[in-house]
Amino acid sequence: MPHTLSRADEITRALRDDILRGQYRAGERVPSERDLAARFATSRGTVREALKKLEQLGIASIQPGGARVVPVQECTLDVLGPLLELNEIPDAELMGQVLDIGTLLIGYAAESAVERGDPSALASVEATIDEILAAEPEDLAQIRVPRRLGRAFALASGNLVLLLIINGLRTQIPDPRRVLGGPPRLDPKALKRVVADLKAAVAKREGASAGSSMRELMALMRAAARETLRSHRSNANVTPFSNRSNAKETN
């Protein structure tokens, strides 16, 4: 049964999206409780609850005289998902930043796992690699290779903080199967070449080489995602993240 949003949640989402679209600038007051209650045809108590939820999200600060918008650079990771879902097609620049950070994290996870991981955990990584190498080219997109390998290395690293950060990022990224009709398609030959290099690095317990192979794999992922987004953006109304007024603080 689908979850039904409360009225306060609906107002929170509407105001959140207004702020992320730049309708209210950083440091600016949002409308008063009375004005918001009139806009949404609800009680001031419901509006007050919605504003508290915005503060919990880190996107607004409740102060004497009203709630003020917090610069997006000072918000929590929880605003990343809403930013990516503001438009029908995720913002290409913002997705590029996500993939850049993902590349750093997954590269580190591979190095750490190979150099310091438990042998039994690495055996699970090697089994995943073998499964990918044995897959038919047409099945590789559905396997979601970078995600599966990244998760496997993160688990094998035994680094809880790394896992929590990766999990947090993953929960914020829209499912490409829903947004684009399927995951970005990586070139099968290039993908298998990189995964074969990765297999050799893991077998030899060469952490730096494993990290390099995972970064190369993420580069393939970024190129495929960029091309997929480019092909879909022409029919979508997208405001680049860098052009939104909330991206800059007011003086």
Residue 179 has a pLDDT of 59
Structure tokens at 21: 């679209």
Question: Is there a single domain that holds both residue 118 and residue 207?
Answer: yes
CB 221 within 8 A of CB 202: no
Predicted confidence at residue 251, as pLDDT, reads 39
Q: d(Cα 237, Cα 55) in Å, to the nearest integer?
A: 29
Please report the pLDDT score of residue 177 as a whole number: 61
Residue 184 predicted with pLDDT over 80: no
Those residues whose C-beta lies under 8 Å from the C-beta of residue 183, and which sit 6 or more positions away, are 141, 142, 144, 176, 177
Asked if residue 247 has pLDDT above 50, the reply is no
Residue 111 is assigned to a structural domain of this protein: yes
Q: What is the pLDDT of residues 93-108, one digit of tens each?
A: 888 898 899 999 999 9
Asked whether residue 64 carries a pLDDT value surpassing 50, the answer given is yes
C-alpha 128/C-alpha 68 separation (Å) is 48
CA–CA separation, 247 and 212 (whole Å): 33
Specify the pLDDT at position 183: 65
User: For residues 47 and 31, is the Cβ–Cβ distance under 8 A?
Assistant: no
Cα distance between residue 215 and residue 232, in whole Å: 26
Q: Does 58 score more than 70 pLDDT? A: yes
pLDDT on residue 235: 54
Domain range for 219 is 80-233
Confidence class for position 31, pLDDT limits 50, 70, 90: very high
Residues 127 and 198 in one domain: yes
Q: Identify whether residues 33 and 92 lie together within a single domain.
A: no
Residue 172 or residue 90, greater confidence: 172
**Is residue 240 within 8 Å of residue 87, measured between CB atoms?**
no
Q: Residue 190 domain-assigned?
A: yes
Same domain, 58 and 180: no
- pLDDT: which is higher, 177 or 101: 101
Q: Judge whether 113 lies within some domain.
A: yes
62-86 average pLDDT score: 90
Evaluate if residue 62 carries a pLDDT over 80: yes
Residue 193 reports pLDDT greater than 60: yes
- Looking at every residue in the chain, the average pLDDT score rounds to 86
* pLDDT (0 to 100) of residue 248: 44
pLDDT tens per residue, range 198-233: 999 999 999 999 999 999 999 988 888 777 777 666
Is the pLDDT score of 160 beyond 80?
Answer: yes
Average pLDDT, integer, range 130-150? 87
- For residue 136, the domain's CATH number is 1.20.120.530
Max Cα distance, the chain (Å):
67
Domain-located, residue 240: no
Written as one letter, the residue type at 79 is V
Say how many domains are in the chain: 2
Residue % of the chain over a pLDDT of 90: 56
Q: Are residues 62 and 174 in the same domain?
A: no
In this prediction, what percent of the chain has a pLDDT beyond 70?
A: 87
**In a domain? residue 131:** yes
Shared domain check, 129 and 52: no
Residue 142 or 6, more confident = 6
Residue type, 83: L
pLDDT at 249 over 60: no
Alpha-carbon distance of 39 to 195, in angstroms, equals 55
60-63 and 66-69: which strand pairing? antiparallel
